[in-house]
């Protein structure tokens, strides 16, 4: 794997995942408000599928390298939730930092549980 591939994997993939996460949370808010149109579904639902595939990839590759453990969950969100509510240590601190800096405020519930 060359340097460009590593950069794309460890920088671009999590960044894209965050963009898809913010879009998914907004779609959820629109759906919950009863305002989701058929046109939004045509564009939104395929993006949810792509975002889920990206989430699986980032969890396995980036998440495993970041937390120095194989994944137990399918998604990075699930891993972050488990680690942030697990045993005290560096993994918990890192998971909490990621959740609080990037995910919790965007989740309509205020806490992203994965």
Per-residue pLDDT of the chain (114 residues; tens, 9 = 90+): 688 888 888 999 999 999 999 999 999 999 999 999 999 999 999 999 999 999 999 999 999 999 999 999 999 999 999 999 999 999 999 999 999 999 999 999 988 887
The first and second tokens of residue 26, run together, are 């907004």
C-alpha separations of 85 from 60, 72, 78, 88 in Å: 20, 15, 11, 8
Per-residue pLDDT at 1: 66
Of the candidates 16, 36, 17, which has an alpha carbon nearest to the alpha carbon of residue 26?
Answer: 36
Q: pLDDT at position 33, please? A: 97
CB 21 within 8 A of CB 103: yes
């Amino acid at each position: 794997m060359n340097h460009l591939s590593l950069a794309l994997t460890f920088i671009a993939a999590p960044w894209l995942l965050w963009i898809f996460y913010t879009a998914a949370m907004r779609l959820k808010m629109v759906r919950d408000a009863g305002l989701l149109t058929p046109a939004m579904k045509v564009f939104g639902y395929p993006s949810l599928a792509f975002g889920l595939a990206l989430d699986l990839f980032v969890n396995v590759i980036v998440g495993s390298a970041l937390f120095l453990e194989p994944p137990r969950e399918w998604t990075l969100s699930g891993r972050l939730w488990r680690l942030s509510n697990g045993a005290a240590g560096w993994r918990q601190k890192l998971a909490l930092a990621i959740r609080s800096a990037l995910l919790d405020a965007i989740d309509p519930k205020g806490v992203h549980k994965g």
